[in-house]
Chains A and B, each alone.
Chain A
Amino acid sequence: MDNIIETKNLTKRYGTNIAVNGVSLHVKKGGIYGLIGKNGAGKTTLMKLLLGLAQPQQGEIILFGSSDLNKQRIKIGSLIEEPALYKGDTALENLKRFSLLVPASDDELKSLLELVGLADVGNKKVGRYSLGMRQRLAIAVALLGNPELLILDEPINGLDPTGIKEVRDLILELNKKGITFLISSHLLDELGKIATDFGMMADGVIVEEISAKELRDKCRAFFKVTTDDSEKALGVLKAWDPGISAETSGNEVHITSEINDSSEIAAALVNGGVRVYEMRNESIDFEDFFIERLGS
């Protein structure tokens, strides 16, 4: 079983508005899948469908390789929209109560509170917590019963930079322990940077699924050399290193293979009788890549 979540042609309409439109999603085990899209793209609705909070009109969901969804869902921790907690109770009472639904021992509850940095809050009621604290407690609730998958809907929304860093570090730490993540986020916020895979969503449609590695390749930095004669320069470089990958573009040569020492390139070109005007690193912007697909 490679995909921990798979959907086929999943569709959810609200009246005439199609929130999720024929989505086929593939979330690999062990990764951090970033569902990226603007407000109203359908990210929350898609997650609700996966969790059974809303019912699709069409399509199929497979969780952990099974279509017996409710049976699999006990293994999924989630945080959808705002943190769902009993505000009149303490953090520990919240965890205790939910641990009747998703079994966990008292020791596990204590260590969960420690993990999310809420071990010292004492008897303070959750209603008096800051948003960041509530967010972390909600993540602790999501972690009850050692889930294999966490589905987090914009988990850093509304957090300050310290809070964002805390949540991001927590996600990385848990991912190292083998928990798979599906995280939705706005265009390129802090979480975009830790994803191993991306699903780009716009108007209810997954426009593209791409791994972080493929994305890096596409946005790969290249080394730009501006010369008086780019065709000649390319010939010189190929003769100098037959394995080099490079192409011409006007009077420039773009080298995409890795370069350890740019002075050697300069020396080879000069020795080959090519004039070198400028040499520098260039890249296609990460951000441009998303904006192109999702709209600005």
Chain B
Amino acid sequence: MSRLLRFNFRKLSRQKSFYLCLGITLGMLVLTGVMYKMIFDSTEAIDMGALMSLPSFNSVTFGLMGMDNSSFIMVMGVAVALMVCDDYEQHTVKIIFARGYSRLQFYFSKLVTAFVAITVAFAVVEPAAFGIGAVFFGFGDADMAKTFALIAIQYVAVLANAAFIFMLSCIFRRTGLSIAAALVAPTVITLVLQLADAAIRSESIRLSSFWISSCFATLSDLNVETYKMLLCLGLCAVYTAVFVMIGALISKKTEV
């Protein structure tokens, strides 16, 4: 297992697409900052009423919205898909299996590598979001404990999303298909759940609020109720476990 990990980390450290994806995420974050700043400034000059409906921006609010605003989820989904599919597409997985490494050893070594990559990206993007927020809108003050709790739960949601894309990539094993799935699947799932919501018309239960994407929106708001935070934490932890398990079951049977 340690050999496989070293092998995968060497690959990751040389995977240009990972750095590119990270760069794109940071770029999107800056653009979003600039855009909000412009809207903010022009609205202030023209219409005070409209300003009221905009959230008050500072480093904390912008930082918490970082995951939602930076396309982090989508772009890192692409990075994960590329990471998983590469060895299948180049057939190098044959060499790994033929030398006696098991499917599960390979699967978990890749999963750990992907989670580490995502963690590194999160550790870069999240502080960057706070920094950009501070530059454009000033520091502001907030409940630090709650802010950190929200960030921690966002991290779990990020892992859940990574596990989801990882599982899809293990199913498709083709870069093109997996990237398409990484881009489309979250939207499609949200859409389907919203349709289901419209169909059942329940006041108390909104299915679409249980999906990962909705958790990001929930976790971006500093005023969110604690039980909602905990619900997101529980959901994302369960999602992560389930996707990792399904991925492992699928990988166990792969023939190459």
Contact = CB atoms under 8 A, between A and B. Distances in A.
Given A81-B91, A85-B90, A100-B6, A73 B98 contact: yes
Contacts of B256: 53-54
A71 B99 CA distance: 9
Interface stretch (B7-15, B21-29, B197-205): B7-15
A25 B171 CA distance: 34
B95 interface: yes
Contacts of A48: 255
B187 interface: no
B102 interface: yes
A39 interface: no
A173 to B, nearest CB: 22
Given A54-B255, A101-B3, A101-B7, A84 B94 contact: yes
B7 A53 contact: no
Interface residues of B, number: 24
Contacts of A51: 94, 97-98
Nearest to A68: B100
Given A53-B255, A54-B255, A89-B14, A101 B92 contact: no
A100 B100 contact: no
Contact of A71 (B7, B93, B100, B253): B100
Contacts of A76: 98-99
A286 interface: no
B107 to A, nearest CB: 15
Contacts of B7: 97-98, 100-101
Nearest to B101: A101
Contacts of A54: 255-256
B51 interface: no
B19 to A, nearest CB: 14
A74 B10 CA distance: 20
A55 B92 CA distance: 18
Instruction: Name which of B90, B97, B99 has the most chain A CB atoms within 10 A of its CB.
Output: B99
A287 B68 CA distance: 69
Contacts of B3: 100-101, 103
B142 interface: no
Contact of A69 (B90, B93, B100, B253): B100
Nearest to A96: B10
A40 B219 CA distance: 56
A141 interface: yes
B177 to A, nearest CB: 19
A11 interface: no
B231 interface: no
A183 B100 CA distance: 20
B30 interface: no
Contacts of B10: 96-97, 100
A243 B86 CA distance: 67
Contact of A85 (B11, B14, B92, B96): B92
B6 A98 contact: no
Given A53-B255, A53-B256, A55-B255, A101 B90 contact: no
A17 to B, nearest CB: 14
A73 B100 contact: yes
Interface in B242-256: 253, 255-256
A80 B90 contact: no
B94 to A, nearest CB: 5
Nearest to A97: B10
B4 interface: yes
A87 interface: yes
A235 interface: no
Given A97-B7, A101-B7, A86 B90 contact: yes
Contacts of A89: 14
B102 A70 contact: yes
A80 B94 contact: yes
Instruction: Name which of A54, A69, A151 has the most chain B CB atoms within 10 A of its CB.
Output: A54
Interface in B206-256: 253, 255-256
Interface string B126-148: 00000000000000000000000
A158 interface: no
A82 interface: yes
Contacts of B95: 78, 84, 98, 101, 141
Nearest to A126: B90
A117 interface: no
Instruction: Name which of B4, B7, B98, B102 has the most chain A CB atoms within 10 A of its CB.
Output: B98
Contacts of B14: 89, 93
A70 B11 contact: no
Interface in A56-103: 69-74, 76, 78, 80-82, 84-87, 89, 93, 96-98, 100-103
A101 B99 contact: yes
Given A85-B90, A101-B99, 15 more contacts: A51-B97, A53-B98, A53-B255, A55-B255, A70-B100, A73-B100, A84-B91, A84-B93, A86-B90, A87-B90, A96-B10, A97-B10, A100-B7, A101-B96, A102-B99
Please provide the 7 A-B residue pairs with the shortest distance between their CB atoms, ordered closest to farther. A73-B100, A84-B91, A70-B100, A51-B98, A100-B7, A54-B255, A78-B98
